[in-house]
Structures are given as structure tokens and as C-alpha cells.
Amino acid sequence: MTDILRPVLELFVIIPGILLAYLPVKNYLRQTPLKLTAWLLPLLLGICILGGAVCCALQIPTRWFLFPLLPVIMLIYHKTLKISVWKSVSIFLAVFAVFTCVKSLSRAVNALMTADLHITENELWLHTGAGIFYNVICLLFVLAAWYPACHCVQTMVTDENFAQTWYVFWILPVIFIGVNLFMIPKHRSTLYTGRILQCYIVFGLVLLIILLLFYVLFLMMAVSLNRNARLQQENHFLSLQQ
């Protein structure tokens, strides 16, 4: 039972992730929030449980199940919204990049928790304690980002003056996702060599902070462009009145 629980916990972060992705676009839903939750939540729960069972049966890491599944979830996410594909994909990848950084930190926490167990080979999934840590941090991040997502980011989604920037925004989260995947150690013993584990934790935190700072700068740029566009419109109206 514990073996199945571990991959299920890793996949369970899909639910807070999709919740966070819907917050800035809640005004663009094709269905009411209640109807959407009624079928999407059981679907995601089933995917998490089924994915955990598949990973446990085939003895594969969860990322081998998750990455082929992500385009399907992204397509479902886009089809439930009335926004452009560039906006929906960018928001989805932005959330995924943050949770990937949290997964790297959880991997370091897992190494700390299991340091005294003298495990020689790489384990496929996080231990139960590290999996719970992973989910708790993701949930806390959703709570922390609730207000900015529902107000500031929502304004950015609505602002059509910022539309062209969405064409390139997705590149940033993709880069951070790739860096975090590259950071996964090939051998478990690597993390316990010298100060590698401490450096891994610091580097993971720095990546997460840099990513969030990029998001803040992107949001500030959107606010600035919106303000400039509004001032241009006001100047135009004043010139017409004169």
C-alpha cells in the first residue's frame, strides 16, 4: 500500500496545480465553476490513482507517466476556457514550472529524510514524508498566490494591449522546467558527496526565487503597458475635445 501511495502523492499535485491555473481565468470559463468541478475533479483524482498504480506496477518514475499526460491535461484546460491558446498554454506552463522547482526542493528534503537509511540505489519515488511535504508546499503556494492570481494576473489576461507578449512568455517556464529536469541526479550517492546536497537545496531555492521574480517583472511590465495605453487614449480624447 505504501508503494502505491508514494507515486500517487507525487501525481496528486496536479490538482492544486490545475486549481492555480484556473484562478486568473475564472471569468473565461465555458462552464460554471460548479459544473466544471463536478467532472474535472473526479477525473483528476482518477488519473492520480491510476497513474500511481501504473507507476507502481511498471516500476517507473512518475515523470514517465506525467509528461505524456500533460499535453492531454493542457488540452482539457484550454478547451474549458474562452481565451487564446497562447494565454492558456503560458499560464499552464507557468504553474508547471513553479511546481517543478518545488519538486526539486522536495527531492532534496527526501535525501535528508532518508540519509540514515543507507539506501544505495536510486529510488523511483519520494518517500511518504517527502511526498506529503511536496503537496503541502504546493498547497501553500496556491494559497499565497490566490489573491495575485485572481486580481493582478487576471488583469494581465484581460489586457489586450499585452496580447503579443504571450507569444514568447511560454519560453521562460520551459527553460526552468528543463533546468530542473537536468538537475535530477543520476546516482543517489551524488547528493551525499561533500556539500552537493546543500548546494542542491540552495540552487533549487535560487531557481524558484528567480522564476517568481521573472513573473513579477512580467506582471509589472503588463501593468506599465496598460497604463501607457490608457494615457494615450486619454490624450487622444483630450485632443479631440480641444
pLDDT (tens digit per residue) in 218-239: 878 777 776 766 677 777 777 7
Percent of the chain with pLDDT over 90: 47
Q: How far is CA 144 from CA 20, 112, 151, in A?
A: 10, 26, 13
Q: Which three cell numbers stand for residue 139?
A: 498547497
The residue among 29 and 192 whose pLDDT is bigger is 29
Q: What is the pLDDT of residues 29-73, one digit of tens each?
A: 999 999 999 999 999 999 999 999 999 999 899 989 998 999 999
- Residue 162's pLDDT is 66
**What is the average pLDDT across 82-93?**
90
**Residue 61 near residue 125, CB atoms below 8 Å:** yes
pTM of the model: 0.88
In this prediction, residue 165 has a pLDDT band, given cuts at 50, 70 and 90, of confident
Q: What is the pLDDT of residue 77?
A: 95
In sequence order, what are the residues at sequence separation of 6 or more whose Cβ sits closer than 8 angstroms to the Cβ of residue 54? 60, 65
- Please tell me the predicted confidence (pLDDT) of residue 120: 63
Q: Is the pLDDT of residue 2 over 70?
A: no
CA-CA-CA-CA torsion for 85, 87, 93, 95, nearest 10 degrees?
A: -140
Q: What is the pLDDT of residue 46?
A: 94
pLDDT of residue 1: 52
Over residues 104-109, the mean pLDDT reads 90
